[in-house]
Structure 1
Amino acid sequence: MKRMFFAVFGLGLLLGTAVGAEAGDPSADEIVKKANHIAYYEGQDGRARVEMTVTDAQGRTRQRVMTILRMNVGDDAEQKYYVYFHRPTDVKGMAYIVWKHLDRDDDRWLYLPALDLVRRIAASDKRSSFAGTNFLYEDISGRSLSLDTHELMGGDDKTYQIKNTPKDGNAVEFSYYVTWINKDNFVPVKAEYYDKEGKLYRRLEALETKDVGGYLTITKMKAEDLNAGSSTVALFSQIEYDIKMGEDIFTERYLRKPPLQWIQE
């Protein structure tokens, strides 16, 4: 649960003037692989309470409060996620499960309590808004490294700058995205997404980090839609690691019957 499950993005380090890759630097693939491990796989399992505040272009706000659970299945391999919504009342009881795979599309299910309906989320929907926020479904469990080619563009004295280009450009709405990764510890620091015309339209970054049980953990992060002028800030609390949850929690049964032991506020 370290870095709180989200795709490779930011700790707010300042972007310096881009320079060429230096002799002795690891390759882009090596950098991205190390960053992916730090962002998603440290700790066998974990949980956190997450409060998201969405602000629209007019300054109006609304909130989402949820618990996120995560379990690794193997080393840097498959994972399972469970998200339970506490507030507001119109989403209370909604639950979301992801089975993350390396060799095929992830399996994703969403439970809508108002309809008592479990809906499978198609692979084509993973780039859509997560519960009406500026985060996407794919942000929650991450994007497979094999879907993109990775190029080391340079960076500054603190960060590597990586350009990530989708192998199948028709499958996503962006043409490429750029990530900044800390040279000292391979922590991802920021991501910026560019549309098909090469215009920057989306930015993700983390605003605050803390040491939680020996893990450097993002406790505040932000997603921005630069075209719409809206943003979402996520605050993380009640963070725990290696709590030894059972794998059966991450099944359809618990979409309708949430695991109260692990999701109580």
Structure 2
Amino acid sequence: MNNYAIRFMFFLFFIFSFANAQSINNKGREIALEADRRSAGFGDFVADLKMVLISSRSNTAERKLRVQILESTKGDVGEKNLTVFNSPRDVRGAALLTYSYKTRDDDQWLYLPALRRVKTIASDNKSGPFMGSEFSFEDMRGHGVDKYTYKYLRDDPCGELSCFVIERYPTDENSGYSRQVVWIDQQEYRIWKVDYYDLKESLLKTLTMSNFKQYQDKFWQPDKMAMVNHRTGRATDLFWSNYQYDTGLSEADFNKNSLKRAR
């Protein structure tokens, strides 16, 4: 075989490999887009939340919260989220306000009643723990499709269902994660599991969602979200209840002043 034929074969191999990689990436993104499309259009909702902190020795501490979310139609804003702690007494009145954007980095503000001030969560601090839980401030931010690049990996069983398994890579240079592996069921496009890898490519945490229920004949929500930290052995369980949709929330309910008056 002459040199020209060898070079031509390498060229064809490169073209085929590139096209196959693009197809895999496109499929991953298409799955993420469909999951996002199915969860959109809810308008607003509120819900109660019980947070259970679990130590490496299985000791527990409980906190009760109230969450309200408004779907925004203004420009690049995706959602506005206000999370308020109702108990125990030492954290009562603490509140986190998040503006999630579709493409750029989110804005977050934390109000701590003991300090009587609103603190801006800087982008380079978002990998820190949220109020002592195994959820980071980054986990509490939005997950817009355009904030990641994607790769389709495989199909996997999800209990009685089948799941797409995709990999997503944060485009934000300040992210605390190198990548996330996500299991999304092929029937309703619900996220069942996420593996989070740190910047050294080690498995850091796993989030598992369970007991999904449907609201408004369209929107699926989990009753439980369990985050396990593989490095520390600690865990945080979130139990959701009392979902209410179309409650009449407005933009005025989601500003920095609303942090201080939230109870």
Same fold (TM over 0.5): yes
2:66 aligns with: 67
2:169 aligns with: 165
- Are 1:185 and 2:188 an aligned pair? yes
- Are 1:209 and 2:208 an aligned pair? no
Supply the distance in 1 between the matched residues of 2:155 and 2:103 (Cα, whole angstroms).
Answer: 31
Structure scoring higher RCO (CA < 8 A, sep ≥ 6) equals: 1
Supply the distance in 2 between the matched residues of 1:140 and 1:205 (Cα, whole angstroms).
Answer: 15
Q: How does 1:97-108 map to 2 (within 5 A)?
A: 97-108=97-108
Q: CA deviation at 1:33?
A: 1.4
- Are 1:142 and 2:142 an aligned pair? yes
- Alignment: residue pair count: 237
- Unaligned 5+ residue runs, structure 2? 1-19
Supply the distance in 2 between the matched residues of 1:196 and 1:101 (Cα, whole angstroms).
Answer: 23
Runs of 4+ in structure 1 deviating by more than 6 angstroms, as ranges, are none
- Unaligned 5+ residue runs, structure 1? 1-19, 261-265
1:3 aligns with: none
Q: CA deviation at 1:227?
A: 0.7
1:72-101 deviation line (CA, Å, top 9, x unaligned): 112995211111110111110111111112
Q: CA deviation at 1:38?
A: 3.6
Query: TM-score under structure 2 normalisation?
Result: 0.82
1:115 aligns with: 115
Q: CA deviation at 1:186?
A: 1.2
Residues 72, 79 of structure 1: 8 Å contact kept? yes
1:46 aligns with: 45
Q: CA deviation at 1:245?
A: 1.1
Supply the distance in 2 between the matched residues of 1:110 and 1:74 (Cα, whole angstroms).
Answer: 24
1:22-76 deviation line (CA, Å, top 9, x unaligned): x9xx72111111223445x341000101001010101111122110000011299
1:6 aligns with: none
1:165-188 deviation line (CA, Å, top 9, x unaligned): 2345x5233321110111112111
Q: Percent identity?
A: 27
- Are 1:126 and 2:130 an aligned pair? no
AA matched with 2:242: Q
Residues 96, 255 of structure 1: 8 Å contact kept? yes
2:15 aligns with: none
2:151 aligns with: 151
Supply the distance in 2 between the matched residues of 1:211 and 1:104 (Cα, whole angstroms).
Answer: 30
Q: CA deviation at 1:194?
A: 2.1
Task: Say which is worse superposed, 86-95 or 130-139, in terms of deviation.
Answer: 130-139
1:121-170 deviation line (CA, Å, top 9, x unaligned): 112222221111111222223233333210011113611110112345x5
Supply the distance in 1 between the matched residues of 2:199 and 2:147 (Cα, whole angstroms).
Answer: 17
Residues 104, 147 of structure 2: 8 Å contact kept? no
Task: Say which is worse superposed, 45-54 or 107-116, in terms of deviation.
Answer: 107-116
AA matched with 2:57: Q
Query: TM-score under structure 1 normalisation?
Result: 0.81
Residues 161, 178 of structure 1: 8 Å contact kept? yes
Structure 1 pair 167–253 and aligned structure 2 pair: CA distance change class (3 A): closer
Supply the distance in 2 between the matched residues of 1:199 and 1:159 (Cα, whole angstroms).
Answer: 23
Report the 3-state secondary structure (helix = DSSP H, G, I; strand = E; otherwise coil) of the residue aligned with 1:129. Answer: coil
Supply the distance in 1 between the matched residues of 2:135 and 2:120 (Cα, whole angstroms).
Answer: 19
- Are 1:57 and 2:61 an aligned pair? no
AA matched with 2:46: R
Residues 208, 221 of structure 1: 8 Å contact kept? no
Task: Say which is worse superposed, 30-39 or 244-253, in terms of deviation.
Answer: 30-39
